[in-house]
Structure 1
């Protein structure tokens, strides 16, 4: 995570998370307006009784209070941009770039009224977020500030009734079903359980199990487990000199060619090439940080 303090009380945060299994951001410690855009991976936000999920090219807005949890990244992979405004801060510096901009964070926070706004439809805010993401390597203070104010003004014109949060949410109980089956399946990664067997263990229908899992993790259970195996294999390729076929066997493959194809499908290159260029991660999750904070 890289944080740029653009104005007094207004920060721009770049996230680039890659881990085997889930991950989470620190808990919220104040009264903030948070606007987050997902570039890749998946993030989860907790409401009072629901969980909301953000996928690539989607953004959300919420007003955070000191008792709110931070974002959770159920797949362990997430890259994105967050604009964070301290509601107790002085926003006057925003007006130096555009008159009236200092009022927008408070206006948005008031219009949210405890709800979470989520948009998965391409609009001007998505375009600006992508420009901000492209700026992460340039670390241009002036451009970041201009784009941040431009983003706030674009968000200020949004109709809150267009929120798609409901379509991107499930109940806490449904989330726990998905997490429980994921924990069990990952603990038995080299065993094969059918959806019917897992549903019976969890005491839910097969339809419910599949729906809950896809809502939380953004893919089918089998696709998720396949990725986890390849991530574990990638870790072994980076950190050991073990024979590739031995690693394939550890991942449940007795055929080197099938393992190589599965690895390439997930990681974008063959196991041999991945080891050769160790430290190179999946392209859409890479975000090198080469400049000092603004």
Structure 2
């Protein structure tokens, strides 16, 4: 089934239609880096709720067609990069962003190649006409939300808080038989909350914004770490190689990827080691050597710290019952995912 030109502009020229039925369309983007599945429900004219299940580092479009398209994103799992006035900040679980789509090249970066969340997309012209009837006695208008939260094409990032969690938590587990009506209620609740609460004045104002040059340096450092897993690479080596101070590297790396350089490198190595334990007959010491460990005890401890069990026990258990389909997300809305399993699927 072919995507329309508008759908290609919004989701990207390579988007596939997996399923299209009344009020619901399932989109898929896939390449050698992974896949992203977006399940979109039309709630009102000009208002869609989209469940995002992303297992790739980048999703992008060539041209975004509507300056009047407002997106409200909620992060359930993973991390997502947001650009604010030439600097970058990162959504973490529970966070909310409100931003407008502008007519330019747009790529969204997911530092962990793993992201689950919900997007409420509003075409401000169509949505305003519809919502003005439904919310007649309230001051909420999608165009006013855009003006409040997206001045100068900015993106407002609001950190996790109980009011946001209350609204979105129930959206991840709606019974199918009441989905249509429940989505309408929750969208109206969200718009009333955003319209009646001055979250823009209370948005992120800390030092978690990072200049583009720093972000590019730590992304390059991350690629270097993942391509040289046989080495023990220090922060000082990375800082010198990529022309950034050690202090800045450590702060920005944790801001982008959510872990210190050391923790990220160890987790990545152990997840790669887990793949070899599952899929090859190499002995434990061979695998340890591949990842720069010449001491079996140190490798076993590092593996247990990350995976929760020793290499030998992990191999026995995984060969007994591990299968990729068992570790895919169980909820069609991306609500259930095991923290260890997504590493398995994205290395």
TM-score of the pair, normalised by structure 2: 0.71
Q: 1:18 to 1:115 in 2, by over 3 A?
A: same
Q: How far apart, CA to CA, are the structure 2 residues paired with 1:136 and 1:65?
A: 35
Query: CA shift at 1:253, angstroms?
Result: 4.8
- The residue that corresponds to 1:29 in the other structure is 64
Q: What is the CA distance between 1:121 and its match in structure 2?
A: 4.2
CA distance in 2, matches of 1:203, 1:214: 17
Higher relative contact order (CA 8 A, sep 6+): 1
2: CA distance between counterparts of 1:101 and 1:277?
Answer: 53
From 118, 134, 145, the equivalent of 1:81 is 118
- Find 2:271's aligned residue among 231, 250, 257: 231
Contact 1:52 1:165 in 2 (8 A): no
Give distance in 2, aligned partners of 1:136 and 1:235. 36
Instruction: Spell out, residue by residue over 1:18-42, the C-alpha distance to the aligned partner (whole angstroms, 9 max, x if none).
Output: 35xxx12223623311111111111
Distance 2:225 2:298 in 1: 21
Q: Is the aligned partner of 1:271 residue 2:311?
A: no
Paired residues, what number? 284
**1:124-273 mapped onto 2 (5 Å cutoff):** 124-135=163-174, 140-159=179-198, 160-164=200-204, 167-236=207-276, 240-243=279-282, 245=284, 247-253=287-293, 262-263=302-303, 265-267=305-307, 271-272=314-315, 273=317
Aligned residues of 1:94 and 1:101 also touching (Cα < 8 A): no
SS in 2 for 1:76: coil
Secondary structure class of the residue paired with 1:75: coil
Aligned 8 A contact 1:104 1:153 in 2: no
How many angstroms does 1:267 deviate by? Answer: 5.0
For 1:41 and 1:10, how far apart are their aligned partners in 2? 25
Between structure 1 and structure 2, the one with the greater Rg is 2
Task: Describe the superposition over 1:12-69 as per-residue Cα deviations: whole angstroms up to 9, x where unpaired.
Answer: 11122235xxx12223623311111111111101234111211111111111212152
CA-based RMSD of the aligned residues comes to 3.1
The separation in 1 between residues aligned to 2:176 and 2:307, in whole angstroms, is 23
Tell me how far apart the structure 1 counterparts of residues 254 and 282 of structure 2 sit (CA, whole Å): 34
1:178: Cα distance to partner?
Answer: 0.8
Residues 266 and 148 (structure 1), Cα distance of their counterparts in 2 relative to 1, 3 Å cut: farther
Structure 2 residues without counterparts, runs of 5 or longer: 1-36, 335-347
Q: Equivalents in 2 of 1:6, 1:150: separation in Å? A: 13
Distance of 1:4 and 1:256 partners within structure 2: 52
Which is worse superposed, 136-145 or 41-50? 136-145
